[in-house]
Structure 1
Amino acid sequence: MAKETPRKRGRPKSFSGKTAQITIQSLDRALEVLDRLTNSGGLTLTEISTELDQSPATIYRVLSTLEARGYVEMDPAAQAWHIGPTAFRLGSAFLRRSSVAERSRPVMHELMQATGETSNLGIERQGEVMFVSQVETNESIRAFFPPGTLSPMHASGIGKALLSRLGEEQLARYFRTCRQDRFTDKTITTPDGLRAELAQIRAQGYSFDDEERTGGMRCVAAPILNLYGEAVAGISVSGPTNRMGLDRIAEIGELVRVAASTISRGLGAPDAG
């Protein structure tokens, strides 16, 4: 039997733990430009250079390099720069690392049809919720979270669903490292208030965002578990308060809970009921 060739290391041994010393300034600047474009609807050269406190000439060289590779593109009419198709392909590769997005898609379609509202899939990313997939309702007024959109955990249905699965040590670390800003008069901003909310989520199996991030919008979510019983994502239904009245929350919550359990079973989660 042939001996298996060991895979090479991800980094040279001598560079382990020395990230701050080996970053490439020009590459870091280019990635910063991509970050700004990702979280905007398009920015002009002047806007980007102002936000990053860099000269327009420097930023233009970065943009030109990224444009040649298809990572960004410019709208000549608006003179605004946008994320390009190559960046989209990179994001798609990220989603392919896990079967969560693929397994969730048909369940999200069923959930949207059953509730009449937009269904979302999100994961935790550095203390925030990052939306990775969405199935939109046909209603003219609807929630919209493009893939890559970030939202604070404490004021998000998916975020609270994920937080509800954390142990006390992990939760304490979250409170130490992440801000709990107030967005509306309903936002829960204290550790005690959020702990009480998380206990209720664990008891009922779903979370409820009652206009805590955006006035006039509600969201119901549940955690998706993997083979080890860990929350790897969250699925939600979101929509305006006039369609998601308080009398519908329990019904929608049960549909969302069952949807999350269905996906969790597909991932091998134990006792995903």
Structure 2
Amino acid sequence: MELQDNDPKLRRKARGRPRGWDDKTAQNTIKSLDRAMEVFEYLSQAQGKALTELSDEMRQAPATVYRILVTLQGRGLVEFDHEEQVWHIGPQAFVIGSRFLRRTSLVERARPIMRKLMETTGETANLGIEKEGLVLFLSQVETHESIRAFFPPGTLSPMHASGIGKALLAHMDEDRLNRRLAAANLQAFTDQSITSPEALKKDLTTIRLRGFSVDNEEKTTGMRCIAAPVFDINREAVAGLSVSGPTSRVRATEIERLSRPVMEAARQLTLAIGGTVLSPQP
């Protein structure tokens, strides 16, 4: 007996995930794939590594790491420099990452706004979002100046030492903010880094009041950043726009002036994605 395509017995409800989705125990994970992703992620943060370096630093057997690398190489996710005898992230990793960015029109709509922001201020313009308690930089329009800030797409940065990160933290509800701070490592990168939750909360209050944040050499000595939040239709801060540059150009006396085009760019991007513009508030 043949079943037709429209037979109810062949109909199955489409599912985006299987039963037991929330079960993250070993039975629902592929250990070899998990190990391969560990190597891939580590190499993405420490490019240009020899096989022995990777195996030593990750405490994995060289043969295991080699098999993983060769498998990833076959997919174009990593590539081998024969002259230097080191491994790098491959072009297919960029292709896949670009597909992630195409999930939303945020990056596309931000580009002309960021370009204008860079031309207005003369400094590098950045776009970032939160990802698992860190700032993920999505796009950048670099200044023409020889000394500049550089945050290539995919760069991750701690929120407490980032202009965009603090702009996003400042607009989180109290419960979510407290969870973020409880899980965060408020590391001191410079003498200006904010390492106390109380001091950080005080700074976030100031940010909400004035509408912009400042990374005052808190991540890198000699670099300053000014950022403002971008809101969605639900009035949630979903991204941040910033300008960053050396303190020799982005001087303390220039913060107020530079903050105005940054906030205006964030306002324009908020409207461009159908968001709701919020006024600075306590």
* TM-score normalized by the length of structure 1: 0.95
**Within the alignment, does 1:169 sit opposite 2:187 as a pair?**
no
Q: In structure 2, how many angstroms separate the alpha carbons of the residues matched to 1:132 and 1:76?
A: 31
Residue in structure 1 matching 2:148, options 142, 145, 157: 142
RMSD of aligned residue pairs (Cα, Å)? 1.5
Distance 1:7 1:72, change over 3 A: farther
Q: How does 1:262-273 map to 2 (within 5 A)?
A: 262-272=268-278
2:257 counterpart residue number? 251
Deviation at 1:16, TM superposition (A): 2.3
Residue in structure 2 matching 1:238, options 244, 248, 258: 244
Distance 1:6 1:243, change over 3 A: farther
8 Å CA contact 1:44–1:81 kept in 2: the answer is yes
Q: In structure 1, how many angstroms separate the alpha carbons of the residues matched to 2:170 and 2:104?
A: 22
Q: Which runs of 5+ in 2 are unaligned?
A: 1-10
**Within the alignment, does 1:8 sit opposite 2:10 as a pair?**
no
8 Å CA contact 1:265–1:272 kept in 2: the answer is no
Q: Percent identity?
A: 53
Q: Secondary structure in 1 aligned to 2:92?
A: helix
1:17 counterpart residue number? 22
Deviation at 1:110, TM superposition (A): 0.6
Q: Secondary structure in 2 aligned to 1:146?
A: coil
* TM-score normalized by the length of structure 2: 0.92
Deviation at 1:272, TM superposition (A): 4.9
Q: In structure 2, how many angstroms separate the alpha carbons of the residues matched to 1:234 and 1:7?
A: 39
**Within the alignment, does 1:66 sit opposite 2:65 as a pair?**
no
8 Å CA contact 1:121–1:134 kept in 2: the answer is yes
Q: Which runs of 5+ in 1 are unaligned?
A: none
Distance 1:32 1:141, change over 3 A: same
1:228-261 Cα shifts (integer Å, max 9, x gaps): 1111111110000001111111111111010001
Q: How does 1:206-245 map to 2 (within 5 A)?
A: 206-245=212-251
For these two proteins, the number of residue pairs brought into alignment is: 269
8 Å CA contact 2:226–2:255 kept in 1: the answer is yes
